[in-house]
Structure 1
């Protein structure tokens, strides 16, 4: 019953009431295992603030405290997804406090956008990212915007950004796929992992968009919306396959053969995957 009193106050974000209930629980059951978890959560409530951060380091410290100390305690206190829901307003407060801090690659986690994502405030995250100059050419904000677009509008809307992210940063692309846990993309990823003969490292994921086009040609219109990135070999291969799909529809056989040779030169494994469906 005393535990429930603490939980009830926490659910209403009542810091003073939670502290009183926690003290009553400690007075009666000083060896209760949950005291330390309750204590961390109550401390977080008491430490809430709306004062803007004056530097990136302060924002990073607050983020680390919430993720390393408070989040594990919340997971013990509130089971399942309810913990993430309870934490959302605290993440949103940190995002608001970080709103005036400019983006810097060396302290990207201090920016408001990833904090808004943790708060499941997708529209605010998108707005914050859109104010970063050249965000589409920088791995971190491109990754954030891809997630925001997916959460707001679904997979079809996110595909062009997913393609660009795979070209620009295969490692961030890999991490994002784990967070999104989209059934369609997961099936493609598993098939890619088992069939594509690459270097065997995370860099292979840069070839994922081109490989997808060999298996799901219907995605070509969405992939064409991807903007130019680094013009590396995986990106050029995807553009070549898009060209091949157009040539196939138009029946231009001479150009088709030349373009196939170009694909073979770029990546023999990708060429084999393409030819397997022809």
Structure 2
């Protein structure tokens, strides 16, 4: 990897020596190469970000964390100090790929820590997600009692399932997450970047006449069924969550689609009135296509 088109210059050669050692996760070699760069070019700006990365390599450990606070501190150091440095040293996706090993090490060290809602980021599952270790993340979540009723673990499992098996496998968990925590649902959609869901989300934002805040997303699962009735078999797999109005609306939408297929007009009218009572904007979206 070359940092400059003038790859025969002395400073570029020394920088490349540091990079070569870093690519091999060779802490001792990287430190020697960095010292050589500092000796000959003490004002080279690359020393700042190279130094952060070398320090991280020298501080690597496999000793399990015994406190949530220690895991959080290690995570913050890697995220706030090392990750920006890696982004400058390695081009494009190669930086994230290189950093994955360090995230996986932190996840391994945190594996024995129990889940605590007030220290959620210290759990192994989100660290495995940062390392792109989807199966390990899923396993870590599955060991949390009642994970499907807790926003953070549900969000982690939803992402792991999406990464492992795709959107169809994740829909039921996405639905439950929207009901349980609209804010985490919003954040997860940004991370996933799924073209299909993003299109639906944009249409929802422009057409759904709700309160205009993030909590509107709790109605997203029910609204989706007004746009894509073919998703009904997947959304039907969602388990009961908060049993609130948005969740009830989704169940009513599923009932309406079933009644339409069966041609049960009297029950259909009664169920439509129930939907209208739950949310007028959702009812309008439904009737727009009828």
TM-score by length of 2: 0.96
1:227 corresponds, among 235, 239, 245, to 239
Q: Is 1:172 matched up with 2:184?
A: yes
Q: Is 1:94 matched up with 2:77?
A: no
- What is the CA–CA distance in structure 2 between the aligned matches of 1:89 and 1:60, rounded to whole Å? 17
- What is the CA–CA distance in structure 1 between the aligned matches of 2:253 and 2:202, rounded to whole Å? 21
Corresponding residue for residue 260 of structure 1: 272
Q: Is 1:247 matched up with 2:259?
A: yes
2:56 corresponds, among 44, 50, 57, to 44
Q: Secondary structure at the match of 1:228?
A: coil
- What is the CA–CA distance in structure 2 between the aligned matches of 1:52 and 1:131, rounded to whole Å? 18
- What is the CA–CA distance in structure 1 between the aligned matches of 2:135 and 2:22, rounded to whole Å? 27
Give 1:202 shift.
Answer: 0.3
- What is the CA–CA distance in structure 2 between the aligned matches of 1:79 and 1:198, rounded to whole Å? 42
Give 1:79 shift.
Answer: 1.5
- What is the CA–CA distance in structure 2 between the aligned matches of 1:150 and 1:247, rounded to whole Å? 31
Corresponding residue for residue 29 of structure 2: 17
Stretches (4+) displaced over 2 A: none
2:150 corresponds, among 138, 146, 159, to 138
Aligned residue pairs total: 278
Give 1:68 shift.
Answer: 0.5
- What is the CA–CA distance in structure 2 between the aligned matches of 1:140 and 1:239, rounded to whole Å? 24
2:170 corresponds, among 143, 149, 158, to 158
Q: Deviations over 1:149-185 (max 9, x none)?
A: 0000000000000000000000000000000000000
2:72 corresponds, among 33, 38, 60, to 60
Q: Deviations over 1:21-44 (max 9, x none)?
A: 000011111101110000000000
TM-score by length of 1: 1.00
Q: Secondary structure at the match of 1:101?
A: coil
Q: Deviations over 1:175-208 (max 9, x none)?
A: 0000000000000000000000000000000000
Q: Secondary structure at the match of 2:243?
A: coil
Q: Is 1:205 matched up with 2:217?
A: yes
1:115 corresponds, among 124, 127, 130, to 127
Q: Secondary structure at the match of 1:103?
A: coil
- What is the CA–CA distance in structure 1 between the aligned matches of 2:90 and 2:228, rounded to whole Å? 41
- What is the CA–CA distance in structure 1 between the aligned matches of 2:225 and 2:196, rounded to whole Å? 14
- What is the CA–CA distance in structure 2 between the aligned matches of 1:215 and 1:65, rounded to whole Å? 44
1:3 corresponds, among 15, 26, 44, to 15
1:75 corresponds, among 82, 87, 98, to 87
- What is the CA–CA distance in structure 1 between the aligned matches of 2:205 and 2:47, rounded to whole Å? 45
- What is the CA–CA distance in structure 2 between the aligned matches of 1:38 and 1:134, rounded to whole Å? 43
Q: Secondary structure at the match of 1:132?
A: coil
